[in-house]
Structure 1
Amino acid sequence: MRLQDKVAIVTGGGAGIGEAIAKKFAREGAKVVVCGFPEDPVADVARAIQEEGGTAIEFTGDISLEANAKSCVELAVKQYGKLDILINNAGVFPTTSMLQDYPTEAFDYMLRHNITSTFMMSRAALPELHKTQGNIVSAGSEAGLIGIAENTPYGGTKGFNHAFMRGLAVEQAQFGVRCNCVCPGPIDTAWTHKETGPMDSEMEKTMVQATPLGRRGTPEEVANVYAFLASDEASFVTGALYFVDGGITVAKGPVGDKVPAKLKKEPEGELNPEHKLDGHAQIREEHQ
Structure 2
Amino acid sequence: MITGNRLKDKVAIVTGGGSGIGEAICKKFAQEGASVVVAGFPEDPVEKVVKEIQKEGEVALGYTGDLSVMGEAESCVKLAVREFGKLDILINNAGVFPEVNMLQDYSEEAFDYMVKNNLRSAFVMSKAALPELHKTKGNIVSAGSEAGKIGIAQNAPYGGTKGFMHAFMKGLAVEQAQFGVRCNLVGPGPIDTAWTHASTGPMDSKMVKTMKEATPMGRRGTPEEVANVYLFLASDEASYVTGALYMVDGGITVAKGGVGSQADSSMKDQPDGELELKHSKDGHTEIRN
TM range (shorter): over 0.9
Q: What's 1:267 paired with?
A: 271
Q: Which of these residues, 53, 69, 72, is aligned with residue 73 of structure 2?
A: 69
Q: What's 2:105 paired with?
A: 101
Alignment of 1:100-119 (within 5 A): 100-119=104-123
Q: Which of these residues, 238, 242, 249, is aligned with residue 245 of structure 1?
A: 249
How many residues matched?
A: 285
Deviates more, 1:110-119 or 1:270-279: 270-279
Q: What secondary structure, in the 3-state scheme, does the structure 2 residue paired with 1:214 have?
A: coil
Alignment of 1:199-278 (within 5 A): 199-278=203-282
Q: What's 1:140 paired with?
A: 144
Cα distance, 1:261 vs structure 2: 4.0
Q: What secondary structure, in the 3-state scheme, does the structure 2 residue paired with 1:145 have?
A: helix
Q: Which of these residues, 167, 175, 181, is aligned with residue 171 of structure 2?
A: 167
Cα distance, 1:263 vs structure 2: 3.3
Q: What secondary structure, in the 3-state scheme, does the structure 1 residue paired with 2:50 have?
A: helix
Cα shift readout 1:220-278 (whole Å, capped 9, x = no counterpart): 00000000000000000000000000000000000001124453110010111101111
Report the TM-score when normalising by structure 2: 0.98
Q: What's 1:124 paired with?
A: 128
Say if 2:94 is the partner of 1:90. Answer: yes
1:262, 1:54 → 2: CA distance? 33
Q: Which of these residues, 32, 37, 54, is aligned with residue 33 of structure 1?
A: 37
Identity of aligned pairs, percent? 73
2:161, 2:267 → 1: CA distance? 33
Alignment of 1:176-191 (within 5 A): 176-191=180-195
Q: What secondary structure, in the 3-state scheme, does the structure 1 residue paired with 2:6 have?
A: coil
2:126, 2:164 → 1: CA distance? 14
Say if 2:149 is the partner of 1:151. Answer: no
Cα shift readout 1:146-167 (whole Å, capped 9, x = no counterpart): 0000000000000000000000
Q: What secondary structure, in the 3-state scheme, does the structure 2 residue paired with 1:242 have?
A: strand
Structure 2 residue runs without a partner (length 5+): none
Cα shift readout 1:123-156 (whole Å, capped 9, x = no counterpart): 0000000000000000000000000000000000
Q: What secondary structure, in the 3-state scheme, does the structure 2 residue paired with 1:9 have?
A: strand
Cα distance, 1:169 vs structure 2: 0.2
What letter corresponds to residue 159 of structure 1 in structure 2? G
Cα shift readout 1:106-128 (whole Å, capped 9, x = no counterpart): 00000000000000000000000
What letter corresponds to residue 29 of structure 1 in structure 2? G
Cα shift readout 1:173-194 (whole Å, capped 9, x = no counterpart): 0000000000000000000000
What letter corresponds to residue 71 of structure 1 in structure 2? S
Q: What secondary structure, in the 3-state scheme, does the structure 2 residue paired with 1:19 have?
A: helix
Report the TM-score when normalising by structure 1: 0.98
What letter corresponds to residue 7 of structure 1 in structure 2? V
Q: Where do 4+ consecutive residues of structure 1 move more than 2 Å?
A: 260-263
1:145, 1:262 → 2: CA distance? 27
Structure 1 residue runs without a partner (length 5+): none
Say if 2:17 is the partner of 1:13. Answer: yes
What letter corresponds to residue 112 of structure 1 in structure 2? K
Cα shift readout 1:21-78 (whole Å, capped 9, x = no counterpart): 0000000100000000001101010111101111000000000001000000000000
